[in-house]
């Protein structure tokens, strides 16, 4: 049975993938990522799965340099080499800005500025970091809030929004930066099921738009719905790197046990 029966066929994407090579991250004696290498295809959705403590969130945060690996290379595949970041020494402030201009993170917690409206939260970074004019940023911000179903909430402050609505504002804010890669760290884990469904619907729509998404989640139903590629991590190492069907149809005892345990929660 296909893992994605509702997804239409999409053309191949010819852009080079985001490549992670030999990523190593330790916390004291704990090896969180142990020589992790993988390719993240452009225009597709890659889902990171694994038990708690497997390294999936650490890997996601490393892509945005919120964690600082001690070794490895992050390469966005740019022909001029400017998108290649060697991690064997700390990145400079300029390098960090360059890396983060290519990827944007959406967190479990929404991290909205409480004193700013939904529209102001979405437009702040494009104005301050990208140098967009206020009028252009606001026009784009309204389009994005409409896109995530919040066109009527542009002037609402975060304390007047539900958790699901706040997370959708956070997604619009990430989209406003027009990054190469969108990173989602358990975007529905802080929400009750009804509000989580609102966010899942938005993410499912994004997954059909040939955007490059990398998502950490514990929800197998969500992963089955959106994933083109699944990476299963355990003990800081990759246990599977394949298609959605490779994961969901695998007869490997460890993967079967993981699917059964997570599905029963």
Task: Walk along the chain (265 residues) and give the pLDDT tens digit of each residue.
Answer: 344 445 555 556 667 899 999 999 999 999 999 999 999 999 999 999 999 999 999 999 999 999 999 999 999 998 888 899 999 999 999 999 999 999 999 988 888 999 999 999 999 999 998 999 999 999 999 999 999 999 999 999 999 999 999 999 999 999 999 999 999 999 888 788 888 898 999 999 998 888 999 999 988 989 999 999 999 999 999 999 999 999 999 999 999 999 999 987 6
How many structural domains is the chain composed of? 2
- Of 145, 178, 211, which residue sits at a domain end? 178
pLDDT value of residue 11: 55
144 in the same domain as 254: no
184 in the same domain as 89: yes
DSSP string for residues in 22-83? EEEEEETTEEEEEEEEEEE-TTSEEEEE-STTSSHHHHHHHHTTSS--SEEEEE---TTSTT
pLDDT value of residue 265: 63
150 in the same domain as 201: no
pLDDT value of residue 1: 38
Alpha-carbon Rg for the chain in angstroms: 18
Cα angle for residues 66, 72, 77 (degrees, 5° grid): 85
Q: List the domain range (segments joined by +) for residue 205.
A: 1-102+179-265
Distances (CA, A) of 213 to 48, 131, 157, 161, 238: 11, 25, 28, 25, 19
190 in the same domain as 248: yes
12 in the same domain as 73: yes
pLDDT value of residue 264: 72
115 in the same domain as 146: yes
197 in the same domain as 88: yes
94 in the same domain as 4: yes
190 in the same domain as 83: yes
139 in the same domain as 56: no
């Amino acid at each position: 049975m296909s893992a994605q029966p509702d997804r239409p066929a999409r053309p191949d994407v010819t852009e080079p993938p985001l490549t992670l090579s030999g990523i190593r991250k330790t916390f004291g004696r704990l090896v969180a990522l142990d020589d992790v290498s993988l390719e993240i295809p452009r225009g597709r959705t890659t889902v990171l799965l694994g038990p708690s403590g497997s390294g999936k969130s650490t890997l996601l945060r490393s892509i945005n340099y919120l964690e600082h690996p001690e070794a490895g290379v992050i390469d966005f595949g740019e022909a001029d080499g400017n998108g290649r970041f060697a991690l064997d020494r700390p990145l400079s402030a300029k390098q960090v800005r360059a890396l983060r201009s290519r990827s944007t993170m959406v967190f479990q917690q929404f991290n909205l500025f409480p004193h700013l409206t939904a529209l102001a939260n979405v437009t702040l970074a494009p104005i301050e970091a990208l140098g967009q004019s206020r009028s252009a940023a606001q026009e784009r911000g309204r389009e994005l809030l409409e896109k995530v179903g919040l066109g009527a909430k542009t002037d609402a402050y975060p304390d007047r929004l539900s958790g699901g609505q706040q997370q959708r504002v956070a997604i619009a804010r990430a989209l406003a930066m027009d990054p190469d890669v969108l990173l989602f760290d358990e975007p529905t884990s802080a929400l009750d099921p009804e509000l989580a469904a609102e966010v899942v619907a938005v993410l499912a729509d994004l997954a059909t738009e040939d955007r490059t998404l990398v998502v950490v989640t514990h929800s197998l139903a969500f992963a089955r719905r959106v994933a083109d590629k699944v990476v299963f991590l355990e003990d800081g190492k990759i246990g599977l790197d394949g298609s959605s069907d490779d994961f969901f149809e695998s007869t490997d005892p460890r993967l079967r046990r993981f699917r059964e345990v997570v599905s029963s929660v």
